[in-house]
Structure 1
């Protein structure tokens, strides 16, 4: 089945951009759709969509997951990531066509596992998206990135230095790896923040996306 989930139309005028929110493990699209308001303060002509991940969460059936965290066999884990990537790409392509937009008008904003998927998908799309913003995540499948990267969109990463779920060190690891692959990346440390998105960091991300859309 295709992805679906909540969406908020532009605050004013016609749709000029599509911002896709990818939620974390065990949540669903409703978990992030509340970010639409703050984002549209800076991006009033953006449609903000927050699709639900395709599968019930392994440990929280009421929530969703992009891929299983319980799978320990690398090849099976990668199959799950690839399946989710294909579903995200198919849904995004359909939305862009429906809205009369292209990848230059597309941005991803992901949290936790959604950040991991946003980076994984965007770096492998045939055409570069306008930007990726990621919170409290990390790069997955780093060892294959050099063989598979085809797009280098600007990336903004933010991580709380008190994150108790995804280690804060993953921020600098991702920044270093992206830099080695010539991906333009900016990063921000959210002081005292745990596994979450604080308002100031979201505002930084919104302005990052605004500037990226202007350049794309």
Structure 2
């Protein structure tokens, strides 16, 4: 049993009927992405927004967290880090489903950078299917035997800046191709001038997907 992740909560305007979970990037914390919830909230009145801090402290500062260490980008080290962090994410998603009495099919995950890596790698291996995934500026890490570990499928939307200096946008193109080959419904958008971040177009891209998923 791992410790349950904690972080900012933005309550729904109306009765909670669905949940959006934000997974932040390396060196950030839950406060970083909860701001997106504030941007979306008026258009998603029955949505509860949760933004947990990643489980491990980061060397960048007291309030900096990481899902896994990035001092080495060797594939085996990233794979080890993803596996170590996986139980924290899975336990958190199970916990909020039980605590808020919201089924997994009404929980949508939004990731940025390292958070996107976590979501893409782990959500498809859960027995309980989520509502969908929005991944900003990330990549799909495939461990040995990845294909055979996929147990649930859900719609995925990816967004990436073509000027990203941290994670090349081609990783989003590769992720889309791979996930489609496994039977996922995937759409992605690339922004010609955006670096490693989320802009207004990206926010609109994500909001449109959530509205179609939960409100239509």
Q: Normalised by the shorter chain, which TM-score bucket?
A: over 0.9
TM-score (norm 1): 0.92
**1:43-192 superposed matches below 5 A:** 43-57=44-58, 59-62=59-62, 63-71=64-72, 77-141=78-142, 143-192=144-193
Q: Which runs of 5+ in 1 are unaligned?
A: none
Contact 2:79 2:141 in 1 (8 A): no
Residue 7 of structure 1 corresponds to 9
Displacement after TM superposition at 1:191 (Å): 2.5
Q: Distance between the aligned counterparts of 1:159 and 1:204, measured in 2?
A: 11
1:41 is paired with a residue of what secondary structure?
Answer: helix
Residue 195 of structure 1 corresponds to 196
2:130 is paired with a residue of what secondary structure?
Answer: coil
Q: Distance between the aligned counterparts of 1:73 and 1:160, measured in 2?
A: 24
Contact 1:19 1:46 in 2 (8 A): yes
2:172 is paired with a residue of what secondary structure?
Answer: helix
Q: Distance between the aligned counterparts of 1:213 and 1:154, measured in 2?
A: 12
Shift in CA distance, 112/72, structure 1 to aligned 2, threshold 3 Å: closer
Shift in CA distance, 193/77, structure 1 to aligned 2, threshold 3 Å: closer
Q: Deviations over 1:50-88 (max 9, x none)?
A: 00001112x414311101123467555433212211111
Q: Deviations over 1:21-52 (max 9, x none)?
A: 00001111111110012222322111101000
1:132 is paired with a residue of what secondary structure?
Answer: strand
Q: Deviations over 1:131-174 (max 9, x none)?
A: 10000000012543212111111000000111111011111111
- The count of residues paired between Structure 1 and Structure 2 equals 213
Shift in CA distance, 72/119, structure 1 to aligned 2, threshold 3 Å: closer
**1:17-28 superposed matches below 5 A:** 17-28=18-29
Q: Distance between the aligned counterparts of 1:112 and 1:119, measured in 2?
A: 11
Q: Distance between the aligned counterparts of 1:8 and 1:36, measured in 2?
A: 7
Pairwise CA RMSD of aligned residues?
1.7
Contact 1:42 1:207 in 2 (8 A): no
1:48 is paired with a residue of what secondary structure?
Answer: strand
Q: Distance between the aligned counterparts of 1:214 and 1:30, measured in 2?
A: 26
